[in-house]
Amino acid sequence: MKYFFDKTRLAVGATVGSLVIVLAVAAPQAWANGASGTDDAAARALEQKVQALEDQLNAIRNELGQVKSDAAREEQHVKEVEQVAVHADELATKAARKSRMLFFRGGFTHAMQGRHGSSITSNVVPVGAQDTAGQNGWYVGAGVDFGLTNDLWGYLPRTSVAGEIMFEYKEFGNKVQGNALANIPTQLAGGTLNPRNVTVSQFTLTAAPKIRFMEGSKFRPWIIPMGLAIHVISPTSESITYLNPGVMFGAGIEYNIWKDFYLGIDGRYHLTAGKADGVKVDGMTAGGYVGIGF
């Protein structure tokens, strides 16, 4: 029985296989024969669909090529922007370095009033030479400019502002004969007139904003609208006062002679509120300076 079923299964399998082979061989021919009998309009419709698919494929290829091209251009643009940013940073760093200056000054100074002090003229001890220092003298000084802005914080192009820290030494005489307190021996102890020479000097420390015009040009005028000044006088006043605050005004012109080296001239005026124990230090300076940018 089992043998019969096996034979039957084998026969059925063979029959099915034969049918598959026949269908496989006959199907293309039958399709061709059927297709040859189809309507021309259907063939054209199929051809149009195939053509539409090809067109869509070509459009996709073109779009892909355009995307690749746009991506390449965008990448190049990003590189250019990065290069510009790096260059701008370099310029900003360079500008920051060159916005500072170390300068050395010297020239003529004039005091609006002759100096009086404990070793020069004394109202307490009116004896001795009682000499008075001259009003004209000389000065030397130095300072540093620290750049704050190159366009007045966006309000005025080509107008820079720097913070100036400066000190100067002024001398009005070094052979000024002193009074009884500067006598050897002092006349207060019965000595004869033998006055000692006294140096009349003044030290000034200032802090001020400096406004430069024509930024970027070799020729640059500048002004100091107002700054703080602290004056130290020597010798001291009769009351041993040696500090006197005030304000400073200034103006000047400088020229870039070579690389970061500058030559300039300036004038400054110092004004105080009044006398400090009889000593008034108002005055002016006029001279030149050499600057080095860094």
- Same domain for 259 and 131: yes
Residue 97's φ and ψ, nearest 5 degrees, are: -70, -40
Domain tally, the chain: 2
CB 160 within 8 A of CB 212: yes
Identify whether residues 138 and 51 lie together within a single domain: no
**Is residue 139 within 8 Å of 105, Cβ to Cβ?**
yes
What per-residue confidence (pLDDT) applies to 231? 96
State pLDDT tens for residues 214-226. Answer: 998 999 999 999 9
- Count of positions (residues) in the chain: 294
> For residue 263, with 0-12 CB atoms within 10 Å meaning exposed, 13-18 middle and 19 or more buried, which class applies?
middle
pTM over 0.75: no
For residues 69 and 210, membership in a common domain is answered with: no
My answer on whether 77 and 173 are in the same domain is no
Question: In this predicted structure, what is the pLDDT of residue 37?
Answer: 54
105 with 94, same domain: the answer is: no
Residue 240 CB partners (closer than 8 Å, separation 6+): 118
One domain for residues 140 and 165: yes
93: in domain:
yes
Assess whether 188 and 91 both reside in one domain. no
For β-strands 283-293 and 101-111, DSSP reports them as antiparallel
CB distance 208 to 228 below 8 Å: yes
Residue 61 lies in a domain: yes
For residue 65, the enclosing domain spans 40-98
64-123 residue pLDDT tens? 888 888 888 888 888 888 888 776 665 555 554 578 999 999 999 999 988 765 666 666
Q: How far apart are the first and last CA of the chain?
A: 113
Residue 94 shares a structural domain with residue 104? no
Same domain, 80 and 204: no
Instruction: Please give the radius of gyration of the chain, using alpha carbons only, rounded to the nearest integer.
Output: 49
Q: Give me the average pLDDT of each 10-residue run along the chain (294 residues).
A: 44 43 45 54 80 83 85 87 74 62 98 74 68 91 96 94 98 83 73 81 97 94 98 83 92 96 98 83 97 96
